[in-house]
Amino acid sequence: MVHQSPFSSTNSPSLEITGSRQFTAWLAEQHLSLAFTTYQAGKVFFIGVQPTGQLSIFERTFERCMGLCIDGSTLYLSSLYQVWRFENVLEAGQVHNGYDCLYVPQVGYVTGDLDVHDVAVVDPPVTPHPIFVNTLFSCLATVSETHSFIPLWQPPFISKLAAEDRCHLNGLAIAQGEPRYVTAVSQSDVADGWRDKRRDGGCVVDVGSNQVILTGLSMPHSPRLYREKLWLLNSGTGEFGYVDLERGSFESVAFCPGYLRGLAFSGDFAIVGLSKPRENKTFSGLALDEKLESKQAEPRCGLFVIDLRSGDIVHWLRIEGIVTELYDVAVLPGMRRPMAIGFKTDEIRRIVRVGSVEEK
């Protein structure tokens, strides 16, 4: 199946999305949809299945959108200088223009340009609230109604809260409603120092114990806890795998032909985001280049579905055209065909919901 989508005008570059033969069938069987972000093109995409069985693709524009988090009916999205909270306003069985999930932006927190990466939800005493990886300040932070952010934690090797992106902190894994593990490209404690350690300076830090538990990674991203394992993407080598916490080692499960960012799970499957490496110093000199050459493969942009039982790539979504880099991937369980309201049409003016006093 091939989906072609022109952007703003006839002169704009086009987008082509091609799915493997059984990709839509897999979505239907798993009873889920997917969302992914591309900060490079400033888009969030929602992938589902049309009533005809064909691929459904819906996109909205959010400048430099990156982190995604699904929490029940709520979706959190980080953008250039804001963290957005969306709500699915449809009840079970309701449909809006053929879509069974309608995300409406409800709250936007202005953070300033913090280079926010992963976003997650924690469970404080009162109500859940978002926390995020504040990459610019090398810390975990939460939103504030009066300030750009509130710092919560910083790695043990970061000596000062400074807007210097010292270690390129990027990934966050949650356990029992609390931040548990983070990934960083290096343990550097100087401004922009992580760029010198891209090939093997990556690490995993246990937030609770404040200890570095794994080193020697290459630009790791997207740590996620699933089925009692800590999974992550060793992006600089193109490998998806898990951390053997007892041995303190990374165990590769599958190689994917791209720079990996974005990881989500459903049943026996992992969904991984692939990007084409940029032609600049940040992505050069990595083991990924050597692996692609040895396998006579070209880097790809898209999504891979990996069977956790075998490590095989069983389904894929290939993206070509204007979109070349992805950041995050999220599973929307129970949704067949999702969409979202943006700010550039009149539709947002006409979506009105009335709350109750009890919900205040």
Nearest to 57 by CA among 112, 1, 140, 118: 1
Residue 329: pLDDT band (50, 70, 90) is very high
Q: Which residue type does 60 have?
A: R
DSSP structure string for 98-124:
TBSEEEEEEEEEE--S--EEEEEEE--
The tokens of 304 are what?
Answer: 């891979």
Residues 128-157: pLDDT tens digits? 789 999 999 999 999 999 999 999 999 999
DSSP annotation of 359 reads G
Three-class secondary structure of residue 7 per DSSP: coil
**Does residue 358 belong to any structural domain of this protein?**
no
Please state, for a pLDDT cut of 70, what percent of the chain lies above it.
Answer: 93
Domain that holds residue 128: 2-353
What is the rounded end-to-end Cα distance, in angstroms, of the chain? 46
**Does residue 10 belong to any structural domain of this protein?**
yes
**Does residue 360 belong to any structural domain of this protein?**
no
CATH, residue 38: 2.120.10.30
Residues 291-314: pLDDT tens digits? 999 999 999 999 999 999 999 999
Query: Which is more confident, 115 or 350?
Result: 115
Q: What stretches of 63-191 adopt beta strand conformation (E)?
A: 68-71, 74-78, 82-88, 101-110, 116-122, 129-134, 139-142, 150-153, 169-175, 178-184
Q: How many domains does the chain have?
A: 1
Query: Which is more confident, 358 or 351?
Result: 351
Residue 6: pLDDT band (50, 70, 90) is very low
When the pLDDT of each residue in the chain is averaged and rounded to a whole number, the result is 93
Residues 193-211: pLDDT tens digits? 999 999 999 999 999 999 9
pLDDT at position 331 is: 98
The pTM is what?
A: 0.93
Q: What stretches of 218-308 adopt beta strand conformation (E)?
A: 220-226, 229-234, 239-244, 249-255, 259-266, 269-275, 302-307
Residues 244-286: pLDDT tens digits? 999 999 999 999 999 999 999 999 999 999 999 877 666 778 9
**Does residue 33 belong to any structural domain of this protein?**
yes
**Does residue 148 belong to any structural domain of this protein?**
yes
pLDDT at position 10 is: 47
pLDDT at position 353 is: 78
DSSP H/E element including 3: strand 2-6
**Does residue 359 belong to any structural domain of this protein?**
no
**Does residue 255 belong to any structural domain of this protein?**
yes
Cα dihedral 181, 187, 238, 329 sign: positive
**Does residue 142 belong to any structural domain of this protein?**
yes
